[in-house]
Structures are given as structure tokens and as C-alpha cells.
């Protein structure tokens, strides 16, 4: 019997409960994994709190993980027991010691990418790849504004955009995070708690604005992001850490012929070939040093609530390490010490 984190009601980190769980045998097109590392993302916080009502309760959260294939279901080609794979699964269920996953959602992991790194970077890295290469293909010479540039996806966006030849301006909440963002490719970083980022972007761009704004903050930055755009600028909103964006008049886009995109990564990697090609590109970017993912802190699966609480304090990144119940040791025969009455055989003869 395995274990999984089960949510019975929306709420704070305390609703994450470890319970017995059995994944069962893989069905057609499925793999059964013994999980070795599980990614923790801010999306999981939204799911747990109820901001995203995308997990049917009771249910197990978690979008990504890494494991070893234990069994292969009917109709699966290209995978075998013992293979090491990572996956992204929008139907959740990753916070567990074992999992059934569709084979078309799994990717083989190269030897150079260990389990912990893969679990911490797969979703963030594929998101960053989709944003800078498909949602808005970043071109050399463009000005890119990245909000939360020291965050999990933000720092990968900054590194990747800088590698593609863009001038990257970041926002950050502290001098420490600003220094990190600069190391990750930002040429300038705006401390948004101390500076008006709209005015500062205009100043840095001689009044032109940014060609693209990558914004995962949402409500608190949306209006400023619109104002920070250049003519024909593109606002890419891919998250809402500060809350959902209120309805707005589409005519507000007209003064700059601006565009807005609200992408979901899954729509851009919606076939095995696209997913694996994007993952291979991510792994290559890491191997070549284009991207330098931060080392995640490992937390036991049973302490998922602690990881969530820390994540909400803007700490991290984190991964969960599944710890299945220890197997019962095989019974051992031990010799009994002879007593004063003599050895057992002697006693039986009497």
C-alpha cells in the first residue's frame, strides 16, 4: 500500500493530509510509476486554496513528478519497466508515492538530469520555453519586461530571453532578489515596492516601452503592464499570484494596438512529439548552461503542508520526496540460548 496527500476541503496548508493510497495496475496507454521526486508549484497552492476549482475533491494535487516505470499498460510503446521518466499531468495526482500516468504525458530523462532537478524544473522550464519560443518568440533587440524576475519561472524567462538577444528588464521585491535577477540575465531590475515600475520602464526605454511583458502577478500589475507596453506590444499574462484580473474594456488595447495572451502551457505541448521536443530543448538548454535552475529544497511527502506554507512566504523552490512505508523485514530465525535444562533437543528427548 502506498501513500498520497488527499485534500477533502479547500483551505490552508493544513488540509493536505497523508493517507493510504493504492494506484492499481496500469490500464491501456498508461504507465505505473514508483515516484522518486514530486514538483511543488504555486499552481498547487491555487488548487489547494480553492482559487482554482480544477481538482475534484477528495483528490490529490500535483502536476509533475519523476519516477521509475514499474509496469506498462496495454498498447504502450517506447517505455519499459526500469525506465526513468518525468511527466506533466493536468489531471493532478502527483503528491503520491506511486502514480498511474498516461504514457503520452511522459518524457525520458537524460542521464545528466537527476530526479530532483527534473522534478523541480520540468513544469517551470517547459512553461518558460513555451512563453519565449511560441507564445511570443523573443527576438534579438527586443525589450522584455519580466515581472517577478527572481521567481521560479521568472528567472528562467530572464535567462532565456537574454540568451536570445533581448534586453531584459525585471521587477523584484527586494535588493536580494534584484541581485539574483541580474545574475539571471536582467540588465536592469526595478524594485517595485520602492519605484513606479511604469515610469521606470518608460525612462529606461526612452519612452518607448517594452515589446513584451511577461506577467504572472495578475491583479496588482495588470494595469501597469498595459501602460508599460510599446506600440504593438504584447502582454502575456500567465498567472495571478496577487489575485484574478477584473474584467476590462477591450478598447483599452486600441491606443497602442496592444495584444493580450492568457496561455496555458498544455495547449502548446498537446502531442507527445511536441512535449518531448520541448522537453529535449529544455534539457539541452540546461546542459549548455543557457539555463541555471535553482537547487530545490527536498521535503518529505508527509510534510507537504510545510512546503506550501513556505512557498506562500515566497520561499523555495521545493520538491517532495515520497517515502513509501518501509517493507516488513523478512522473518529471521534466531538460535535460542541453551538453558540450564539443556538444549532444546535434549529437553524433547526427556
Domains and CATH numbers, the chain: 2-109+295-321 (3.90.180.10), 135-265 (3.40.50.720)
Distance CA 38, CA 118 (A): 9
Write the pLDDT tens digit of every residue in 53-74: 999 999 999 999 999 999 999 9
State mean pLDDT over 89-94: 96
Three-state SS string across the chain, please? Answer: CEEEEEECCCCCHHHCEEEEECCCCCCCCEEEEEEEEEECCHHHHHHHHCCCCCCCCCECCCCEEEEEEEEECCCCCCCCCCCEEEEECCCCCCCECEEEEEHHHEEECCCCCCHHHHHHHHHHHHHHHHHHHHHCCCCCCCEEEECCCCCHHHHHHHHHHHHCCCEEEEEECCHHHHHHHHHCCCCEEEECCCCCHHHHHHHHCCCCCEEEEEECCCCCCHHHHHHCEEEEEEEEECCCCCCCCCCCCHHHHHHHCCEEECCCHHHCCCCHHHHHHHHHHHHHHHHCCCCCCCCCEEEEHHHHHHHHHHHHCCCCCEEEECCCCCCCCCCCCCCCCCECCECHHHHHHC
Mean of all residue pLDDT scores within the chain? 91
Contact 119, 37 (CB under 8 A): yes
For residue 242, the model assigns a pLDDT of 86
Residue 33 φ/ψ, nearest 5 degrees: -110, 140
For residue 171, the model assigns a pLDDT of 97
Distance CA 340, CA 311 (A): 64
When mean pLDDT is compared across 157-161, 231-235, 240-244, the lowest value belongs to 240-244
**Grid coordinates belonging to 54:** 480544477
Write the pLDDT tens digit of every residue in 25-55: 999 999 999 999 999 998 999 999 998 999 9
State mean pLDDT over 170-174: 95
State mean pLDDT over 275-302: 95
Sequence-distant (≥ 6) Cβ neighbours of residue 9 within 8 angstroms: 15, 57
Write the pLDDT tens digit of every residue in 301-310: 999 999 999 9
Contact 235, 261 (CB under 8 A): yes
For residue 324, the model assigns a pLDDT of 54
pTM for the model stands at 0.86
- In this model, does residue 350 exceed pLDDT 60? no
- In this model, does residue 224 exceed pLDDT 60? yes
**Grid coordinates belonging to 40:** 511543488
**Grid coordinates belonging to 126:** 517547459
Greatest CA span in the chain, whole angstroms?
107
- In this model, does residue 345 exceed pLDDT 80? no
Task: For the chain, give the percent of residues with pLDDT over 70.
Answer: 92
- Residue 243 vs residue 3, higher pLDDT: 3
For residue 348, the model assigns a pLDDT of 34
- In this model, does residue 230 exceed pLDDT 80? yes
Confidence of residue 276 (pLDDT cuts 50, 70, 90): very high
- In this model, does residue 318 exceed pLDDT 70? yes
Amino acid at each position: 500500500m502506498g501513500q498520497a496527500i488527499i485534500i477533502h476541503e479547500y483551505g490552508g496548508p493544513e488540509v493536505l493530509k497523508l493517507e493510504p493510497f493504492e494506484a492499481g495496475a496500469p490500464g491501456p496507454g498508461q504507465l505505473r510509476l514508483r515516484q522518486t521526486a514530486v514538483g511543488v508549484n504555486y499552481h498547487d497552492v491555487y488548487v489547494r486554496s480553492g482559487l482554482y476549482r480544477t481538482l475534484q475533491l477528495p483528490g490529490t494535487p500535483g502536476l509533475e513528478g519523476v519516477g521509475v516505470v514499474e509496469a506498462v499498460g496495454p498498447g504502450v510503446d517506447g517505455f519499459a519497466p526500469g525506465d526513468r521518466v518525468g511527466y506533466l499531468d493536468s489531471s493532478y495526482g502527483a503528491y503520491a508515492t506511486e502514480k498511474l500516468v498516461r504514457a503520452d504525458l511522459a518524457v525520458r530523462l537524460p542521464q545528466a538530469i537527476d530526479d530532483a532537478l527534473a522534478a523541480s524544473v520540468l513544469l517551470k522550464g517547459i512553461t518558460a520555453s513555451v512563453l519565449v519560443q511560441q507564445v511570443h518568440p523573443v527576438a534579438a533587440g527586443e525589450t522584455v519586461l519580466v515581472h517577478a524576475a527572481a521567481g521560479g519561472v521568472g528567472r528562467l524567462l530572464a535567462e532565456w530571453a537574454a540568451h536570445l538577444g533581448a534586453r531584459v528588464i525585471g521587477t523584484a521585491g527586494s535588493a536580494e532578489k534584484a541581485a539574483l535577477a541580474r545574475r539571471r540575465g536582467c540588465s536592469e531590475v526595478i524594485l517595485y515596492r520602492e519605484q513606479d515600475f511604469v515610469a521606470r520602464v518608460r525612462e529606461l526605454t526612452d519612452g518607448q516601452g517594452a515589446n513584451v511583458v511577461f506577467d504572472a502577478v495578475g491583479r496588482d500589475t495588470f494595469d501597469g503592464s498595459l501602460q508599460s507596453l510599446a506600440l504593438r506590444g504584447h502582454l502575456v499574462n500567465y498567472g495571478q499570484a496577487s489575485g484574478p484580473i477584473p474584467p476590462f474594456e477591450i478598447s483599452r488595447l486600441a491606443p497602442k494596438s496592444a495584444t493580450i495572451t492568457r496561455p496555458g502551457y498544455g495547449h502548446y505541448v498537446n502531442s507527445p512529439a511536441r512535449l518531448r521536443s520541448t522537453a529535449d530543448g529544455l534539457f539541452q538548454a540546461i546542459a549548455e548552461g543557457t539555463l541555471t535552475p535553482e537547487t530545490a529544497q527536498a521535503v518529505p511527502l508527509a510534510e507537504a503542508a510545510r512546503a506550501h506554507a513556505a512557498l506562500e512566504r515566497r520561499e523555495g523552490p521545493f520538491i517532495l520526496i515520497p517515502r513509501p512505508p518501509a517493507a516488513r523485514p523478512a522473518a529471521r530465525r534466531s538460535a535460542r540460548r541453551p538453558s540450564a535444562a539443556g538444549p532444546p533437543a535434549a529437553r524433547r528427548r526427556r
